[in-house]
């Protein structure tokens, strides 16, 4: 995949990081904004539906390409990404082969919620 042109970074993405907090009954995971929003290129790779244990689930797998910065290089699959009203779990992060100034994030979101 070639490096994106500036005009192709049309999506605004935001990141969230989970922290453990005590809710009075025990430790629970709470998502909080992490860092500033970033510009990215979005490419949907696949979508699908699952039928398992009487549940119907729909999801989309998407690749986001964004500039590599000190902040984006610190992202991990424990973080999540928000774009266009969907929350995406990050399943993979890699340096873009064509241009190491960019990172590719492979993400999956449930589209039935």
Number of domains in the chain: 1
Encode the chain (113 residues) as per-residue pLDDT tens digits. 677 777 889 999 999 999 988 888 999 999 999 999 999 999 988 766 555 555 567 788 999 999 999 999 999 999 999 999 999 999 999 998 888 899 999 999 988 76
Q: Report if residue 2 sits inside a domain.
A: no
pLDDT at residue 79, rounded to an integer: 96
Query: pTM of the entire structure?
Result: 0.82
In a domain, 5, yes or no: no
Instruction: Look up the CATH number of the domain holding residue 42.
Output: 2.40.10.270
Domain enclosing residue 49, as ranges: 10-110
Q: Does a structural domain hold residue 3? A: no
Residue recorded with tokens 């039928």:
51
The answer to the question of residue 73 being in a domain is yes
Question: Does residue 29 sit within a domain?
Answer: yes
Helices and strands of the chain, counted as H and E runs: 1, 6
């Amino acid at each position: 995949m070639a490096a994106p042109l500036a005009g192709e970074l049309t999506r605004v993405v935001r990141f969230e990081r989970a922290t453990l907090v005590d809710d009075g009954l025990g430790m629970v995971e709470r998502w909080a904004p992490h860092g500033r929003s970033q510009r990215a290129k979005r490419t949907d790779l696949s979508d699908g539906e699952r039928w398992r244990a009487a549940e119907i689930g729909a999801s989309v797998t998407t690749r986001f390409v964004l500039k590599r910065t000190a902040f984006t290089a610190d992202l991990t699959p424990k973080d999540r990404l928000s774009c266009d009203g969907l929350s995406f779990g990050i399943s993979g992060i890699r340096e873009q082969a064509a241009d190491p100034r960019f990172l590719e994030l492979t993400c999956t979101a449930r589209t039935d919620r």
